[in-house]
Each structure stands twice: as C-alpha cells, then as structure tokens.
Amino acid sequence: MANIHTPIPNLKLNDGNSIPMIGYGTGTAWYKSGDESKVDQACIDATKMSIGMGFYHQDGAEVYKTETELGTAIKQASVPREKLFVTTKVISNISDIPAALKTSLKKLQLDYVDLYLIHSPFFSDKKEEHQAKWKQMEELQGQGLAKSIGVSNYLPEHLDWILDGCTVTPAINQIEFHPYLQHVDLLKYHKEKGIATQAYGPLSAVTKGAGGPADDILNKLAKKYAVNPAEISLRWCIDQDIVPITTSSKEQRLSDYLRAMTFKLNPAEIKQINEAGSKKHLRGFWTHKFDENDKR
C-alpha cells in the first residue's frame, strides 16, 4: 500500500516557491449546496486522513463552503504549517478580494495561504477590471497573506489582459485537464510565459468519460505498471509537469493514487494517451460559462 512514506515530488513555481505534485480537493465531493455553517464531519475526517497519508497539498475555495472543514482537518492533523501547501480561491466575493481572503484565512485558521487563486475569469469581460483585480492579488502577496498567486479557468485571452502591465506573473492557472480536454494551445502559452498548470478533474477519462477512446491505452498501461487507469491518468499529468488535484473519501483509493509516484510514463506512452484522448472532447465543469462550441 502506498502511504505517507511515498515521496511526492515538487514543482518549482515562477516565484521561487514549490508545490507538491499532487493535491487533495475539498470541492467536488465535498462542497455544500446549502448552509455553510452546518459542519460536515465526513469532510473533516476524509481531509484529515488525506493529510495523514501525505497529501500535504490541499485545495479549497470559498465557493465550496468547506474552508472551515479544511481548517479543522489541518489543525487536527498536526502537521507543521510549513510542510503544508494550502490553496484557496475567490469568486463569490470578488468585489472585495482583500476582505474575501481575510474571511477565508479565518475559516482556515491560518495566517497565510500558499496559493490564492481567482477562481474564474467569468466575473467580467473587461480587461481593466481584470487588471484591477490582479493588482489586489499582487498586494495580498506583498503583504505575505498569499505566498503565491494565480488564476483558474483562464484562457489565453484572459491571461493576456493580466500580463499586460502586471508586476507579478500568475504562478499557476488551475484548469480542467484530462485526456479528453488537453488544452494544447493554453499549455503552450503557459510554457512560454512561465505559468505552471494545475489539473482539476484529472480522472475524468476514467470516471465521466469511461467507455471512450482512451480506455484501451489507459487499461494497457495500467496492466504494464500494475496500477489502476486512474493512476495512469495522474501520472500522465505529472510527467507533463502538470499538478493533478484529485479527491476521494476512501483510504484505499487515496493510497492507490499515491502509486502514481512510483513509476514514470515514457514519452511514447504519453503520446499514445494524447492521440487516443484527442478523439473525444469532454468538459465537466463551468459548462454554463464556456461557449459550447469552444473545444479548447
């Protein structure tokens, strides 16, 4: 069983900070559609378990309404703060980013987050507003409240707005990324500008896209490396320097995910997954915001 002793590599960001190359998400499986003040003990327990197993990189967001649970799990896990990498994101309270971060920090019971992200670009279609919001993000980083700052769900046109005149280039863009959503042009853009990529929904080809054209190659490689197709999907991200964010409430599944740290795909295998995956398009998140004809 892979466990806390399974070393997790780091990726160096453009600001000199380092991020562990797999994250545990407190969104999809855990977000509350209702009352935020109703504490979800199952979320605390699963998140604490993930930290205990070595998932020191934790991904939250104000919109998930689970920052209190994440903060409690962190506290109860008793791992030194400097060993953790904690992300949260702003979107509901984008009108006042400094206040939003302070509220998040209170819920998280932290003095700073390792990464603060603007959760999506869809709050405005005006370049000037994006630039003004990014300036506030830079100020929060300057105050030490966020060690790294970045964005999520941005496309090249949104990043262009920010990069025009920014002082700090976003460290990360967190996007939906899996064999059926490969974002080839966006990844090229990230590489040119020194922006790291985080992948949410990395298991989508195995979960939502099961039965698709990548099944055969994912199954074949799973057999070769004696893991599950999920771990091939995670490794496919890592071997492209992309940081996957996954989740589960099950110890066995989390342990299985960590096996992605125990082997490497070769370039030919990555290419085979890319080729098979490019035969299908699947977007699972923010579908109401992205143009349905946009296959990027």
Ligand X SMILES: NC(=O)C1=CN([C@@H]2O[C@H](COP(=O)(O)OP(=O)(O)OC[C@H]3O[C@@H](n4cnc5c(N)ncnc54)[C@H](O)[C@@H]3O)[C@@H](O)[C@H]2O)C=CC1
Ligand Y SMILES: O=CCc1c[nH]c2ccccc12
Q: How far is the CB of 231 from ligand X (least distance, A)?
A: 9
How many whole angstroms separate alpha carbon 204 and alpha carbon 52?
Answer: 25
C-beta atoms surrounding 128 within 10 Å: 9
Nearer to ligand X, 86 or 265 (CB): 86
To which H or E segment does residue 217 belong? helix 215-225
Q: How far is the CB of 55 from ligand Y (least distance, A)?
A: 18
Nearer to ligand Y, 112 or 122 (CB): 122
13 binds, among ligand X, ligand Y, none (CB under 5 to 8 A by kind): none
What six digits make up the tokens of 189?
Answer: 């853009």
Give just the sign of the alpha carbon dihedral 71, 76, 77, 79. Answer: positive
Across the chain, the runs of DSSP E, i.e. the strands, are 10-12, 18-20, 23-25, 57-59, 85-90, 113-118, 146-152, 172-176, 196-200, 242-246
Sites of contact with ligand Y (CB under 6 A): 27, 31, 61, 63-64, 285
| Amino acid in the structure at residue 276 | A
- State yes or no: is 119 an active-site residue: yes
In contact, 236 and 179? CB cutoff 8 Å: yes
| Amino acid in the structure at residue 7 | P
How many residues touch ligand X under the rule CB under 6 A: the total is 24
Does the protein bind ligand X through residue 59 (CB under 6 A)?
yes
Does the protein bind ligand X through residue 282 (CB under 6 A)?
no
Q: Which among 56, 57, 116, 119 is annotated as catalytic?
A: 119
Q: How far is the CB of 117 from ligand X (least distance, A)?
A: 7
Q: How far is the CB of 233 from ligand X (least distance, A)?
A: 8
63 binds, among ligand X, ligand Y, none (CB under 5 to 8 A by kind): ligand Y
Does the protein bind ligand X through residue 8 (CB under 6 A)?
no
Residue 263 neighbours by CB under 8 Å, 6+ apart = 225, 227, 235
- Contact mark string toward ligand X, 127..166, x via CB under 6 A: -------------------------xx-------------
In contact, 22 and 244? CB cutoff 8 Å: yes
Please provide residue 26's backbone torsions phi and psi, each rounded to the nearest 5 degrees: -110, 25
Instruction: Kindly identify the residues of this chain, within the stretch 173-202, that bind ligand X according to CB under 6 A.
Output: 174, 200-202
- State yes or no: is 288 an active-site residue: no
Q: Which stretch binds ligand X (CB under 6 A): 25-33, 48-56, 92-100, 163-171?
A: 25-33
CA geometry: angle 75, 55, 111, nearest 5 deg: 40
161 binds, among ligand Y, ligand X, none (CB under 5 to 8 A by kind): none
Which residues of this chain interact with ligand X, rule CB under 6 A? 25-29, 59, 119, 152-153, 174, 200-204, 206-207, 230, 245-248, 253, 285
Active site residues: 64, 119
